[in-house]
Amino acid sequence: MQKNVFVSSQVSMPKTHVLPDLSNTELSVTQHKNLTDLLISFSDVFSQHDQDYGRTSLVTHKIRTIDDTPISQRAYRTSPALKAEIHRQVEKLKAQDILEDSDSPWSSPVVMVRKKDNTYRFCVDYRKLNSVTITDAHPLPRIDDSLDALSGSQYFSTMDMSSGYWQVELDPNDRKKTAFTTGDGLYHFKVMPMGLKNSPPTFQRLMELVLRGLHWTKCVIYLDDIICMGKDFEDHMKNLTDILTRFREAGLKLNPAKCHFCEPSVTYMGHVVSKDGLSLDPAHSEKVRDWPTPKSATEVRAFLGLCSYYRRFVRDYAFKAQSLHRLTHKDVRFEWTDECSVAFQQLKDALTSPLIMAFPHFDQPFTLSTDASNIAIGAVLSQTQDGKERVVAYASHVLTSTERKWSTYDKELWAIVWSFRHFRHYLSNSPFTIVTDHKPLVGLRKLNFDIDPTGRRGRWAMELDPYEWVIIHKDGKSHTNADAMSRIPVDSSTTPTPLTQTVSIQTDDLPLTSQTDDFVGVNGTEIQPKVETQICLTECEIDDGLSESTVQMLCTSLGEEEKDITYYQKTDALLSQVSSWVENHKRPNLRQVKGKLRQLWWQVPRMVLKGGVLCRTAYSAPGKPQTYQVVIPDVLIQDTLHYLHGDPCSGHYSAERTLKRAQSLCFWPGMRSAIEQHCESCEACESRKKPVPQRRAPLQSISTVRPFQFVCTDITELPVTSCGNRYVLVVQDHFTKYVNAYPMVDQTAGTVARLLCDQYIPEHGVPEELFSDQGRQYESEILQDICKRLNICKKRTTPYHPRGNGMVERFNRTLKDQLAKVLFQSGGEWDQYLSAVVLSFNATPHSSTGYSPFFLAHGREPRLPAHMYLDSPSDGAVNTPQTYGSALVKRMETVFREVLNTSADQRLKREYYFNRYEKFRPFKVGDLVWMNDPTTQRKKLEPKWTGPYRVLTVDMAGIIYTVLNVRNVKAEPKVVHYERLKPYRSKWKEPALTATWDGQDKDERVQELKPFYTALSGSIPLSSGGLWVGEKEAPVLSSVPHVRRPSGRIVQVPHAVHMSYGYSY
C-alpha cells in the first residue's frame, strides 16, 4: 500500500513522543517493554498534539446530489460575541488546512452549539444539502457479528482515530457543496466534515480498505472504533504490528488518549469484552442503578428503551417487563403499583448484576433447548465450555391468535423451527442437539406425511432435515430454562423490533468526534445499531419454496393459518363435486343441479385445476398476465374476508376497492354481497367513518315572551392583550337579543360569577333562566349556589354540542369578525374596542325581531356618534315623565306583540329550511349505537367513534339520549345529543346483565326491575311519560335508582335534564 501522509506546513512536530498511557496494563516487565518499544517505533502514527491530523486520499468523499441546482441559505443571526467566536474558530480551521475561502453558489448556515463546559462547538447545518444527497448504501457491520468475532481472544487493544473524518479528503469537485456562510465570508471544507449524510459509509469503506485481509481475523472495525485481538501476547503483538503498519502506509493517525493496548478486558460498543465472555458496560449499569422511579408513561418508555437494548443479558425479559410495558399503552391510565415497583427493581438488578454470556465456539456443538406454552415459545442456545453449560443467547416469541389454536405437537414443533430460524447463523454450519419436553417430537425425522392434513409439519420437517442435529427428550421439571422463556404474556414487550433504528445521541458522545474536536454536523451521525431482541425476524424465515403465482401464494398464506385450501376444497360438499367435473371434463345436466351448486355449474367452463387447487380463470386487462382465482370453500370465507379487508397489508378500504382486489385473487358465489356486508359491519371502519348521510336532529328553537326571561352565556377566547385580557364573557338575552360582553384575564368560576353578580345583574336584574354549555365555570359549585339563592333556573346544552347554544355562538363569530375589521382599520388591541363593537351590535336592528336589541331593552334607540352629523330634528313635543312613561308602555306593548309574531315567523322559516331535507330516524331504547368522541379529533390515528353504547332512555322528541358503554364495565351512563350517535352495525355478543335492588333478595330484585332489564337487553320499547322505556316501565322506572353491571358494580341512571336541541335565536 502506498504511503500517503499529509503534514501541514504551518504545524511543527514536537520533539518528544506522545504515546498512549500504559500504566494500567496488567503485563509483565518484559511484555511491558516489548509493547512500549513497539509503540515508540510507530510514534508517527499517533497524534502528537491537538492539531496533528493525518490525511489520506486512498478514499475521497463524494457528495452525489439529485441534481446540480445549488442550495443557498442565509446566515443565522448571532450576537456580536458569537460572531467573534465564529471568526476565531474559522481562522483556526483555516490554519489547520481544514477550510479555505470559497466562491461557491452553495451555502449552508453556521450554528454554534454550547458544550458542557460552556464553550462553543462550531457546527454547520447541512440538512438541506443532505435532503438532496443520494444515499450511499455501503453497509455498516452488525455489532453482534463484531462481538462474536472476538471469541477465544485473551488480549484486546482498542484504537480510535484522531478526528477521523478530518483525515479523509473531500473530492475537489464536491468541496463547494460544503460551503457555509458566517455573515462576513464564505468558506468550504477541504476534508470530510461531520454532519454529511454519507460520512459514516465513506469512513467505513476507508477502514475496510486500509485493513483489508485483517478484518475479522486480527481486528474488527466499526467506523473509527478498531479493536485488535490476540489469542496470546505474541500473537497480539504481531497483529498490532500489522495494523499500525497499515495506518502508517495510509497516512492515518490515532488519538493516543483514546487508545488502550493489551488489556484483558476492554469496553467496546457499549459492552465489556474479556477472555471470559461478554458483559454489560459498568457505565450503563450505573445509569440503570441510579434511575429514578418513573412518574409518567414517557419516563417508562425511556427506561424500557435502555433495557431493551441489553435485553440479551436479561433472562425472561418480556415477562419481567410486562407490567411496565402495560403503562405505555395509550388506553391505560398511568398508575404505579407495587407490581410495577417489583418489575422496575428486577430489571435494574438484572442489568446491574455480573451476568456473563459466553462467546460461541463454532468448532464445538450447540444445544438448542425449546419449549412452548399456550401464549409463547421460548429457546435457550447454549454450549458446554470447560465442562460447564454456558448460555450463548435467549429468545422468545409470542404466539399469534391462530398459532394458539394449534395442537400441542404443532406448537412444540413450531418452537423448534422458529428457534432454528432465529439462530440459523449459529446452527447452519455446526452440529447441534435439540432438547424438548414433548416426547413425541423425538421421532421427528420419521414423521409420517400421510397423517399430516395441513402439510405444515411436513414442510417444517423438510426444512430441518438437511442440517446435522439430533433431538432428545427432557422431562418438564428439569427443562426449566426454555420453559421459563415460553411463559411470556401477550403485551407490547414482545412486538417485533426493527433490526435497525435511528437513535438520538448527544453531540459530545458522537463516536467519531474526539474531545478536542471543535466541529460536528448539526444533522449528526445516524447510528443504526442492531437492537438485540428476542423476536426479531430474520431473512431465513422467508419460505424459499414459495411460488410467485397467485394460487400458491394464497395457498401458503392461508396454509399458515391451519386452513389448507386443497384440503378444505376436497372436504367441501359442493367444491368436491365441481372439482370432479373439472377433472373429468364433464358436468351433469343443469336440470340435475339445484341450489348454490347451480351458480358453480355456470362457472365450470372457466375453472381449472392448478397444482390440485380448484381455480377460476380471471378476466385480465390487456397487457397483464393471466391470473387465476382460487375458489374458496365456505369454511374459509371468513378467513379470506379478513385477509382482504382487515389484515394490515390489505387495509380497511371500501367495499368496491376490496372487491377489485378480491377479483384478482379468489372467487366464491355471492362474493360481492359478502364483501359489502363484511365491510359495512367492520368495527374498525365504523369507528372512523362519518354516517352517510350525516345525521342531524330536527331544529327546535327556544321560545320566549319577555325580556331577560331566558339569558344565554358563553366564553370565547381572543389573543392576549397588554392588559392581560384573553377571554370575553358574553351574556345575551334571548328575547331582545341584547348583548353584554366583559373582557377577562382568566375564565375561572370566580371571575365569571363576579361579573354576573357585580355588573350584569345590577344592570338588567335577575334573569329567570340562565343557559350555558357544560364548561367548568358554569357547572362550578359557586355558580350553582348563586343560581339557587337568586332562584335562577340553570339549564345547559348536551356535551360537545355547541349548536344547542347557537344564538351566542353566532354572536361570537360576529364579534370576532367585527373586531378584526376594526383592528385592521385602526390598529391597537381588541379590548380597546370591545364596548364599541357591542354597542354597534345592540344598536343595529336584528333580523329575528326587526328591532334593535337596545330599543327592545330600553324602549328607545341609543344616541351614537353618528347622530352628531345625521341626527333628525325633534318634533318639538314636551313630555313629562308621566306622559312619556304612559306612551312608552303603549308603544312597547305594540312592539312586543310585533316581536313575538316576527320571531315566530322567523323560527318557523328556519325550522322549515333546516329540516326539509333531513331524514330523522330516532333510536329506540335497547339499540346499540356508536358515540362520537370529540376528544380524539386531534389525534389523527385515534378512532372517531367509541362504543358500542346501549340506549337506556330517550326524550319525547328523540333528541336527547342516555347511553351506557356496554364494552366497559366501569362506565357511567352519559347524556348525549342525537347528532353524536350513529347505528352500530358490527356484531356484538351481549354479556349477561343482572338487575339488582338494595335491601331485597335476588329473585325479588330481578322481578321488580324486569322491565328495565328488558329494555337494556334490546326489547321493542314503548312510549310513556316522555321517556322511551320497556314494557310496564312507568311505575317501575320512577323508583329505579340504579342497575348492576356484569361486574357487579352499581351505576346511577341520571334523571332527565332540560336540554336545547338546535339553533336558538
Eight-class DSSP state of 571: H
Task: Choose between 859 and 668: higher pLDDT.
Answer: 668
Within 387-495, residue ranges assigned H as helices are: 408-422, 424-427, 456-464, 480-486
Dihedral sign for Cα 789, 794, 800, 804, please.
negative
Q: Does 747 have pLDDT greater than 70?
A: yes
Beta-bridge mates of residue 1051: 1043
- Ranges 38-52, 222-236, 621-635, 659-673: which has the least confidence: 621-635
User: Rounded to the nearest 10 degrees, how much is the dihedral formed by the CA atoms of 781, 784, 788, 789?
Assistant: 60
Eight-class DSSP state of 451: G
Task: Choose between 546 and 996: higher pLDDT.
Answer: 996
Q: What is the rounded CA–CA span in Å between residue 787 and residue 766?
A: 10
Q: 701: which residues sit within 8 A by CB, 6+ positions away?
A: 907, 910, 911, 1062, 1063, 1064, 1065
Average pLDDT value for residue range 758-784: 88
- Ranges 311-315, 377-381, 613-617, 965-969: which has the least confidence: 311-315
- Ranges 150-154, 551-555, 698-702: which has the least confidence: 551-555
Amino acid identity of 194?
A: M
CA distances from 592 to 302, 595, 631, 710 (A): 70, 10, 22, 78
* Closest to 991 in 3D by CA, of 928, 943, 1053, 1033: 928
- Confidence band, pLDDT 50/70/90 cuts, at residue 102: very high
Burial class from Cβ neighbours inside 10 Å (0-12, 13-18, 19+) for residue 602 reads: exposed
3-state secondary structure 47-74: CCCCCCCCCEEEEEECCCECCCCCCECC
The predicted pLDDT at position 288 comes to: 53
Print burial letters for 610-647: b (CB count within 10 Å at least 16), e (below 16).
Answer: eeebbbbbbeeeeeeeebbbbbbbeebbebbbebbbbe
Contact between residue 343 and residue 324 where contact means Cβ atoms under 8 Å apart: yes
Q: Which domains does the chain have, with CATH numbers?
A: 29-275 (3.10.10.10), 279-352 (3.30.70.270), 366-494 (3.30.420.10), 559-680 (1.10.340.70), 710-842 (3.30.420.10), 928-1052 (no CATH)
Extract the C-alpha cell encoding 784: 350553582
- Confidence band, pLDDT 50/70/90 cuts, at residue 334: confident
Q: Which residue has the cell 334571548?
A: 734
Q: What is the rounded CA–CA span in Å between residue 485 and residue 650?
A: 33
Contact between residue 158 and residue 266 where contact means Cβ atoms under 8 Å apart: yes
Highest average pLDDT, of 12-16, 482-486, 656-660, 910-914, comes from 656-660
Beta-bridge mates of residue 500: 530
Q: How many CA atoms lie within 13 A of 332 on its CB side?
A: 14
Q: Is the pTM of this model over 0.95?
A: no
Q: Does 374 have pLDDT greater than 90?
A: no
Q: Does 1037 have pLDDT greater than 80?
A: no
Q: 68: which residues sit within 8 A by CB, 6+ positions away?
A: none
The predicted pLDDT at position 536 comes to: 31
Q: What is the mean pLDDT of the chain?
A: 74
Eight-class DSSP state of 228: E
Contact between residue 739 and residue 754 where contact means Cβ atoms under 8 Å apart: no
Task: Choose between 574 and 398: higher pLDDT.
Answer: 574
Q: Which residue has the cell 430489571?
A: 347
Contact between residue 433 and residue 419 where contact means Cβ atoms under 8 Å apart: no
Average pLDDT value for residue range 573-594: 87
Q: How would you classify the pairing of strands 974-977 and 769-772?
A: unpaired
Element of type H or E holding 123 = strand 120-124
The DSSP secondary structure of 942-1010, one letter per residue, reads S-SEEEEEEEEEE-TTS-EEEEEESS-TTPPPEEEEGGGEEE--S---PPP-----TTS-HHHHHHHTH
Helices vs. strands in the chain: H and E counts, helices first: 34, 37
The predicted pLDDT at position 310 comes to: 52
Q: Which residue has the cell 370565547?
A: 716
Q: 284: which residues sit within 8 A by CB, 6+ positions away?
A: 270, 306, 310, 351
- Ranges 29-43, 189-203, 626-640, 991-1005: which has the least confidence: 991-1005
Q: Report phi then psi at 19, rounded to 5.
A: -120, 160
* pLDDT tens-digit readout, 2-36: 433 333 333 344 445 678 878 767 888 999 999 99
- State CA 941 to chain mean position distance: 8
The predicted pLDDT at position 186 comes to: 94
Contact between residue 326 and residue 332 where contact means Cβ atoms under 8 Å apart: yes
* Closest to 646 in 3D by CA, of 674, 676, 672, 683: 683
Beta-bridge mates of residue 268: 271
- Confidence band, pLDDT 50/70/90 cuts, at residue 212: very high
Total residues belonging to the chain: 1065
* pLDDT tens-digit readout, 850-888: 788 888 888 888 877 665 555 555 555 556 676 666 666
Q: Does 805 have pLDDT greater than 70?
A: yes
3-class DSSP state of 457 = helix
Amino acid identity of 831?
A: D
The predicted pLDDT at position 236 comes to: 94
Q: Does 889 have pLDDT greater than 80?
A: no
Amino acid identity of 755?
A: L
pLDDT cut 70: percent of the chain above it: 68
Eight-class DSSP state of 757: I
Q: How would you classify the pairing of strands 727-733 and 739-744?
A: antiparallel
* Closest to 368 in 3D by CA, of 277, 377, 494, 537: 377
The predicted pLDDT at position 495 comes to: 39
3-class DSSP state of 740 = strand
- Confidence band, pLDDT 50/70/90 cuts, at residue 100: very high
The predicted pLDDT at position 251 comes to: 93
Q: Does 587 have pLDDT greater than 50?
A: yes
Q: Does 598 have pLDDT greater than 80?
A: yes
Burial class from Cβ neighbours inside 10 Å (0-12, 13-18, 19+) for residue 994 reads: middle
Extract the C-alpha cell encoding 49: 498534539
Q: Which residue has the cell 356484531?
A: 987
Q: What is the rounded CA–CA span in Å between residue 625 and residue 218?
A: 53
Eight-class DSSP state of 453: S
Contact between residue 734 and residue 709 where contact means Cβ atoms under 8 Å apart: yes
Extract the C-alpha cell encoding 495: 412486538
Average pLDDT value for residue range 495-508: 32
Amino acid identity of 759?
A: Q
Task: Choose between 190 and 480: higher pLDDT.
Answer: 190
Average pLDDT value for residue range 393-400: 78
Extract the C-alpha cell encoding 752: 365569571
Task: Choose between 751 and 1044: higher pLDDT.
Answer: 751
Beta-bridge mates of residue 712: 732, 771
CA distances from 73 to 107, 129, 179, 694, 893 (A): 6, 10, 10, 49, 73
Q: Does 905 have pLDDT greater than 80?
A: no
pLDDT cut 90: percent of the chain above it: 16
The predicted pLDDT at position 863 comes to: 76
Average pLDDT value for residue range 544-549: 32
- Ranges 709-718, 842-851, 1003-1012: which has the least confidence: 1003-1012
* pLDDT tens-digit readout, 936-950: 665 656 777 787 888
